[in-house]
A and B are shown apart, each in its own frame.
Chain A
Amino acid sequence: MLVNRRTLLKASLALLPVVVGAACGRAVVSPSETAATSVGEPSSLTVYSGRNENLVGPLLEQFGKDTGIAIQVKYGGTAEIAATILEEGANSPADVFYAQDAGALGALLAENRLSALPDAILNAVEPRFRSPQGQWVGTSGRARVVVYNTEDVKPADLPASILDFVAPEWKGRIGWAPTNGSFQAFITAMRVKLGEDQTRAWLNGIKANEPKVYPKNTPTVQAAVDGEIAVGFVNHYYLFRIRAEQGNVPAENYFPPNGDLGSLINVAGAGVIAGSQNQAAAEQFVAFLLSQQAQEYFATETYEYPLAHGVAAHPDLPELATIQTPDIDLSDLADLRGTLQLLQEVELI
């Protein structure tokens, strides 16, 4: 019998707090802590979500049920939603922007469309996963990995660093998505850590290896699964999702060890829109995304890294603390622009 995915997710969501119980320690945010300003009366909330409804829909519905807040959600691509909020300007119906990546939150920040979040929310995550000025907070994370086809590549053949894929043996065997936001964040990190010249050299080196160019992560991972490419530079969780649908496929994730750039962490995050009429409910929602319940949901249902202190990642994943991130502001558009200019210069976009 076919069962609705949403129903399954909802059921697991309801069970989560029971299963995990109070075993986990401190520091996840409880919604009541932060929503001090909400006084009794039922409020409403409009969330613009750049995150996919298939991934976060059940969670958002759960928030509405738990709090009695009438939540309305507009779903779309993160970049398109960010542009929409900017075009709407002061008349935006949105109270919260829930974004797939920090760069989009940065775009709103640059035009002063986000308001400051309370410290209780910001402090739930490590400083590297939130806005330095305090206007957005990361709610779940994803690692950059190398997905490889197990029939084509032996684990021993994989180089210690992502920088080594410029070697000639990888010619014609690499897939990547230079127009993808996560990829660009990874290039930004590389620029910060290694400088412009070395990053340019690496990009040109990979380019000389004639990589296949995909529009984003999903088709890249699918291509690795199909054996169209040997390795792909992607985010870690797509393989889990493809496994969930297609069963045991001949592909694995490789996390380049020792804090290599290849396994940078990117975040999905949320911010409250400046001038929101439902500020209290909006903050309550962001706090909810960092609650035990939501963080467990990310760990088990979307195969992402929970970012709030004290919630464990999926057992198949290396611990978050072992993946080092260069010290960059993930939402800094100036950095992003530099990356785009570099990518344009080497004619990748």
Chain B
Amino acid sequence: MATSPKSAISIALDKTILGGRRTHWSAGPPLPLVAASFVVAIGILLPLVYLILRAAGAGDELWRLLLRTRTAVILFNSVALASAVTLSTIVLAVPLAWLVVRSDLPLRRLWTGLLIVPLAVPSYVGGFVLIGALGPRGMLQSVLEPLGVDRLPAIYGFPGAWLALTLFTYPYVFLVVRAALQGMDYTLEEASRSLGHNNWSTFRRVTLPQLRPAIAAGGLLVALYTLSDFGAVSLLQFDSFTRVIYVHYQGSFDRHLAAGLALVLVFMTLMILVLEHWSRGRARYHSGNNPGLRPLRRMPLGKWRVPAILLCGSVALFALVMPAATVGYWLVRSVSHTASFTALPGLAWNSLWVSAAAGFAAVVLALPIAYLTVRFPRRLIKPFEYVIYLGYGLPGIVIALSLVFFGANVAPIIYQTFFILIAAYLIRFLPQAYGNVRTSLLQVDPSLEEASRNLGRSWHATLRAVTLPLARGGATAGGILVFVTTLKELPITLLLGPIGFKTLATEVWTATAEGFFAEAAPTIFVLLAISMLPTLLFAGKEP
């Protein structure tokens, strides 16, 4: 009897996504990998130790501060903002990723490069940009002035913070989902279509369920970034928890109270992680097919071609052209002609190599941990998953000060060297690499590894010959994310870099902090240009 198209596709899905088959390794997890992961975990726990030490010195005032109603209000604010931004970045980024990987959208590689750039806009610049462009008396208003628009409704508060963070963080989801789409077994989609499902139904019933871990990983990065952001929320006048932490550092120079508040942020991070774990389900995301074996047939967009281009174009317009135009306007309106170009090559080189080193190291460290948590999700391994994200939910200043403390007092030899600088970047940004690598590894069929082991290869030879090549997409995406966020990182670079070490980001901060916007403009342009480099170099390889 012939099965109906519907039940056939259900069977295919059952086999891949809902299958409960677990891999059984005769031996336990490889000890060197466990040892390496332990070392990384200890590094990531340092800020937590520091916070507990400092908060212990805060005394009763901490409780008075924590228990006032305003604390609940700003906690709610932070949670609401993180949820809204996460949701909107997913809605925006998943279609974009699908278009550049699966459709016959023209200039896919260029769109990919362009759509990643907004990630490199530092949030303190993004805040100024949004106010300058869309503020009550910003550029948009001056364009509309002849039409009698005297001032625009204020973007301050929740709408502005939400818009800024959505525009400048959606690339997190975009990159993870893009890598997942590249590593996904698309023969399932072809099966679905051949069985009579249209594009939309195929996307909803086959593609989307398989993207679940990627969307969760990207969403987690966005949520935690939003939680720890200071630049955008302060400029756009939104009262978030991180802003209050900064107020205690800056207003009263009180490290103890700030640490106590930061511990609340750690708690919130843990809550979000629990939520993310719960949302993952128990699915399996690999099939026996190697997607590289058959050429991908791209979906013809047909009548959707123009709307698709419009979507990509309008995202690029708001997240890329608008910042670039605003920064260009700073340059044009300037009367002082003080913009400097002579220092730029040196600054660009510093930014480039230190970010590349951080990106590379992050991937190297994320691989063993992701391998363990994907292949050996046992009780001993599970805590790694939580630990690795702890640094990411904390404001950069907290990570920086904790390493100042441990560096100067425990390891003065490496204090204010590149070693501790890059270690700090890793403590903060490792989750970006981890989330991507993990998503990729989920798509690697463990039976391939088993076959390799059965043929006599050792675990590390198997890792090299089978696992790593298949996880390449996620590793590349993770490396790019860490590269671009390191490029714009500020507090860690300022406090932990070798004395006199300057990057494009520190230079942009130096200029904008005192209102020298025109002086910052060329530096911002170089920063944005460099952020495209790795995408154009490494991510162009089509599946």
Inter-chain contact B251/A181, CB cutoff 8 Å: yes
Which residues 48-98 of A have a CB within 8 angstroms of B? 52-55, 72-77, 79-84, 86-89, 91-93
Chain B, Cβ-Cβ closest to A219? B235
Inter-chain contact A245/B495, CB cutoff 8 Å: no
Contacts of B499 in A (CB 8 A): 46, 72-74, 93
Most chain B CB inside 10 Å of its own CB: which residue of A46, A81, A91: A91
Contacts of A333 in B (CB 8 A): 252-253
CB distance from A221 to the nearest CB of B (A): 7
Contacts of A74 in B (CB 8 A): 494, 499-500
CB distance from B441 to the nearest CB of A (A): 38
B339 interface contact, C-beta 8 A = yes
Inter-chain contact B518/A83, CB cutoff 8 Å: no
Which residues 1-22 of A have a CB within 8 angstroms of B? 1-6, 8
Inter-chain contact A2/B341, CB cutoff 8 Å: yes
CB distance from B62 to the nearest CB of A (A): 13
Give the docked Cα–Cα distance between A87 and B512 (Å).
Answer: 27
Task: From known contacts A54-B516, A238-B515, A349-B247, infer whether A336 and B252 are also in contact, taking CB-CB under 8 Å.
Answer: yes
Most chain A CB inside 10 Å of its own CB: which residue of B244, B250, B336, B506: B250
Contacts of B70 in A (CB 8 A): 344, 347
A218 interface contact, C-beta 8 A = yes
**Stretch of B365-373, B397-405, B453-461 at the chain-chain interface:** B397-405
Task: From known contacts A54-B511, A91-B409, infer whether A76 and B338 are also in contact, taking CB-CB under 8 Å.
Answer: no
Inter-chain contact A245/B404, CB cutoff 8 Å: no
CB distance from B425 to the nearest CB of A (A): 17
B418 interface contact, C-beta 8 A = no
Chain B, Cβ-Cβ closest to A51? B514
Inter-chain contact B495/A6, CB cutoff 8 Å: no
Task: From known contacts A84-B401, A107-B253, infer whether A214 and B408 are also in contact, taking CB-CB under 8 Å.
Answer: no
Type the 1/0 row for A226-244, where 1 means its CB is closer than 8 Å to any CB of B: 1110000000001001101
Inter-chain contact A87/B517, CB cutoff 8 Å: no
Contacts of A86 in B (CB 8 A): 255
Most chain A CB inside 10 Å of its own CB: which residue of B128, B510, B515, B517: B515
Inter-chain contact A2/B337, CB cutoff 8 Å: yes
Give the docked Cα–Cα distance between A221 and B137 (Å).
Answer: 14
Inter-chain contact B136/A181, CB cutoff 8 Å: no
Task: From known contacts A2-B340, A73-B500, A87-B401, infer whether A52 and B252 are also in contact, taking CB-CB under 8 Å.
Answer: no
Chain B, Cβ-Cβ closest to A90? B409
Contacts of B517 in A (CB 8 A): 245
Give the docked Cα–Cα distance between A53 and B335 (Å).
Answer: 21
Inter-chain contact A83/B253, CB cutoff 8 Å: yes
Inter-chain contact A54/B253, CB cutoff 8 Å: no
Give the docked Cα–Cα distance between A54 and B515 (Å).
Answer: 10
Task: From known contacts A54-B511, A213-B237, infer whether A245 and B335 are also in contact, taking CB-CB under 8 Å.
Answer: yes
B541 interface contact, C-beta 8 A = no
Which residues 323-341 of B have a CB within 8 angstroms of A? 333-341
Please tell me the number of chain B residues within 8 Å of chain A, measured between CB atoms.
60
Most chain A CB inside 10 Å of its own CB: which residue of B255, B397, B491, B513: B513
Q: 29 interchain pairs (CB within 8 A)? A: A2-B340, A5-B519, A54-B519, A72-B500, A73-B500, A79-B251, A80-B249, A80-B400, A84-B495, A87-B401, A87-B404, A88-B404, A88-B408, A89-B409, A92-B408, A93-B416, A215-B234, A218-B515, A219-B235, A221-B515, A228-B135, A238-B515, A241-B515, A245-B335, A245-B518, A246-B335, A247-B335, A349-B244, A349-B251
CB distance from B141 to the nearest CB of A (A): 9
Give the docked Cα–Cα distance between A79 and B245 (Å).
Answer: 12
Inter-chain contact A212/B336, CB cutoff 8 Å: no
B7 interface contact, C-beta 8 A = no
A103 interface contact, C-beta 8 A = yes
Residues of B within 8 A of A (CB): 65, 68, 70, 128, 131, 135-138, 151, 154, 156, 234-235, 237, 244, 246-247, 249-253, 255, 333-342, 397, 400-401, 404-405, 408-409, 412, 415-416, 491, 494-495, 499-500, 506, 510-519
Contacts of B401 in A (CB 8 A): 80, 83-84, 87
Contacts of A245 in B (CB 8 A): 334-336, 338, 515-519
Contacts of A212 in B (CB 8 A): 154, 156, 237
A222 interface contact, C-beta 8 A = yes
Task: From known contacts A46-B499, A53-B510, A91-B409, infer whether A340 and B516 are also in contact, taking CB-CB under 8 Å.
Answer: no
Contacts of B137 in A (CB 8 A): 226-228
Contacts of B337 in A (CB 8 A): 1-3
Closest 7 CB pairs of A and B: A107-B253, A5-B338, A215-B234, A88-B408, A79-B250, A218-B515, A247-B335
CB distance from B22 to the nearest CB of A (A): 47
Contacts of B334 in A (CB 8 A): 245-246
Give the docked Cα–Cα distance between A337 and B257 (Å).
Answer: 12
Give the docked Cα–Cα distance between A107 and B250 (Å).
Answer: 11
Inter-chain contact A52/B514, CB cutoff 8 Å: yes
Give the docked Cα–Cα distance between A313 and B229 (Å).
Answer: 40
